[in-house]
Structure 1
Amino acid sequence: MSFSVVTKDELARIIAKKDCCRLAELAALVKMDGSIEISGNQRLGLSVVTESAGVARKILTLIKQFFDHNTQVIVRRKARLKKNNIYQVKVSSAPGIRDILVRLGMLDEDGQLSEKIKAGLITRTCCKKAYLRGAFLGGGSVNNPEGDYHLEIITNKEQHALDIAGVMRKFDLSAKVSTRKNWYVVYLKESEQIITCLNVMGAHTALLDFENARIYKDMRNQVNRLVNCETANLNKTVDAAVRQLECIKLIEGLVGLEKLPKSLRRTAELRLQNPEVSLRELGDLLEPKAGKSCVNHRMRKLEKIADALRAKRQY
């Protein structure tokens, strides 16, 4: 299963202790995945559709807790692509259904469709957390932390997306809203922000898994950076040594190393004898020992002599 599915399974098993939080979470689920049905005699009904059995079970449990209405679950199988089950929780049209829709924020007090989150549902911090949990269960996803960091909640109402982002900001989450075709996407990109969001929603096991994967990923990236840096330095050292050897052999062949000053001659001889060592290691072999900068200075002198000999030969 994907990391997103595992996270939702964990959240679907959470049942809030307070009634206010349960109602806020149910309102979010209905707002995300619910639709109002109108029967032939103009009576209203409610239908909530989800692909998760755990989420469907949670919706059914919460509806039965708050509303004494005939409720049923219809299970059908997708005909296209992944042939997963689709769960439809239906609240039949009955007296009082309009009050339910108003209480959940689907309708305003005038009976008009409402895109906003009903203010009374999220007055407390605990209720805001529950609403985010319901919104994520209804239309959220989070990438596997081994890849790119990304958490999002998708809704088809712009105002609802802005309200969800506003709730996130109450927890210092810098949520942003973008459009994707006919959908509005509330998203987080930074790993620390996603970890905070998982904690707010109550997905503590997923949070730990995310942290472990992130630490492993960061460590692996750091090791790769170090290896790349060491490889680059090694290549640089090897290239320099090859160039130095070519210059020394040119001097040796044209004029002889014995014509060089003693310090340069000894440095050149040690380089010929130890083509693989670094400048620092080469300096340790000298008598008396010399530092890396001193050896580098001598090598530059040898290269200048070789360049002069090449120019003279070409001339």
Structure 2
Amino acid sequence: MDIQNLLKEELYSIIPDNIKNLEAEWMGIVHGLGVLKKRNDQFHLLFTHQDIALIKKIITVQKKVQGGSPGHQILALDRRGLNRGKFYQVDFELGREWEKLQVDLKYSIGNLHEGGFHFLRGLFEAGGYFGEPHKSYQLEIRLASEEICDRVLEFLREQNLDFKKRFYRNKFILYSKNIGTIASFVHSVGATRTYLMLEKLVAEKATFNELTRWVNCETANLERTVAYSIRLREKLQRIDLETLPPKLLEIALLRMRHPLASLKELGKLCKPPISKGEAYRRLRTIEKLVESKSLHIK
């Protein structure tokens, strides 16, 4: 199971035992997805979403918060256009409950410290997006109201969660691309399994990136060694090696015999062994002698 589906499945399975926390999550869902409409002098609360699992959770939470009333019906809708596809809609007939709902909605925004992360779980379930972590890190919460967006952003920052705000396609979006922030948010809204998997993916990605950097570095070092070796061999082939002092002759012959060896490896082949720095100094001395034409050129 990929991490996005795991997060959805885990969040949908969370039903708080504490009624206050359950009410906070319900308010988050209503703020994020609920639409209040009046039909035949009756108020209706509508929720429309492509994920039937979320619709089922909404019905479950509503029953626990409001004691099973009011009545509801579920519709399957086929939409066309940009947001095409199959959608599900649950329609709650509020009756007099709409007045209480209005009061509760205003109270929930002004008192986020009471069950704040349960409220955020509801908001995320209703309008959240979690990008594929194998490609990039991004978590979003889409909101229709700027007032709610600003209040939630203030709460998040009070919890040291570095979210930012933007406006796109008539929606206010709270988002973060910081993996530390995303992991903390996921853990705070109760998705422990997803949090642990995310930590595992982050560790694997960091290891892979480190390995890639090491391979690139080693490849670059090898390419430099080969290029230097070829350049030096060309110079050595132009001179009479027997005219070199013993120490320089030894390193020159080793370089000719071992074109891919590193300076450190060449130094170990000398008798007695010498350091990498000393091997470089001897080879560089030969280069300077060739360049200054101080040696017999063939």
What TM-score do the two structures reach when normalised by structure 2?
0.90
Q: 2:253 maps to which residue?
A: 269
Q: Tell me, in whole angstroms, the C-alpha distance in 2 between the residues paired with 1:91 and 1:167.
A: 30
Among 195, 208, 212, the alignment partner of 2:200 is 212
User: Is residue 150–residue 187 contact of structure 1 (8 Å, CA) maintained in 2?
Assistant: yes
Q: Which residue in the other structure is 1:199 paired with? A: 187
How big is each residue's C-alpha offset from its partner over 1:287-307, in whole Å with a ceiling of 9 and x where there is no partner? 232221112111111112222
Root-mean-square deviation (CA, aligned residues, Å) is 2.3
Q: Which residue number corresponds to residue 29 of structure 2?
A: 29
Work out the CA distance in 2 between the residues paired with 1:75 and 1:84: 11
Aligned partner of residue 238 in structure 2, secondary structure: helix
**Structure 1 segments (4+ residues) deviating >6 Å:** none
Contact 1:23 1:104 in 2 (8 A): no
Partners of 2:273 and 2:5 lie apart in 1 by: 64
What is the deviation of 1:222?
0.9
Q: Displacement, 1:2?
A: 5.4
* CA offset digits 1:107-138 (Å, max 9, x no partner): x8xxxxxxxx5324x343xx111111001101
Q: Deviations over 1:261-297 (max 9, x none)?
A: 2222222122222222222222222223222111211
Letter of the 2:110 partner, please give it.
A
What is aligned with 2:89? 88
SS in 2 for 1:154: strand
* Residue matched to 1:154: 142
2:59 aligned with 1:63, yes or no?
A: no
Quote the Cα distance in structure 2 between the aligned partners of 1:57 and 1:294: 75
Establish whether residue 257 from structure 1 lines up as the match of residue 241 from structure 2: yes
CA shift digits 1:63-88 (9 cap, x unpaired): 22333322222222334578643222
| Aligned partner letter, 1:18 | N
2: distance between equivalents of 1:291 and 1:118? 70
Sequence identity of aligned pairs in percent? Answer: 28
Residues matched between the structures, number: 294
How much does 1:56 deviate? Answer: 1.0
Measured in 1, the distance between the counterparts of 2:2 and 2:249 equals 66
TM-score, length of structure 1 as denominator length = 0.86
What does 1:6-155 align with in structure 2 at a 5 Å threshold? Answer: 6-41=6-41, 43-67=42-66, 68-80=69-81, 84-105=85-106, 117-120=108-111, 122-124=112-114, 127-155=115-143
Residues 146-170 of structure 1 show CA distances to partners (whole Å, capped at 9, x for unaligned) of: 1111111011211211122223224
Letter in 2 for 1:171: Q
Q: Which amino acid aligns with 1:96?
A: E
Contact 1:175–1:186 (8 Å) recurs in 2: yes
Give the partner amino acid of 2:243: K
Structure 1: distance between partners of 2:104 and 2:257: 88
Contact 1:77 1:85 in 2 (8 A): yes
Check conservation: 1:245, 1:272, Cα contact below 8 A. Answer: yes
SS at match of 1:186: strand
Contact 2:109 2:151 in 1 (8 A): no
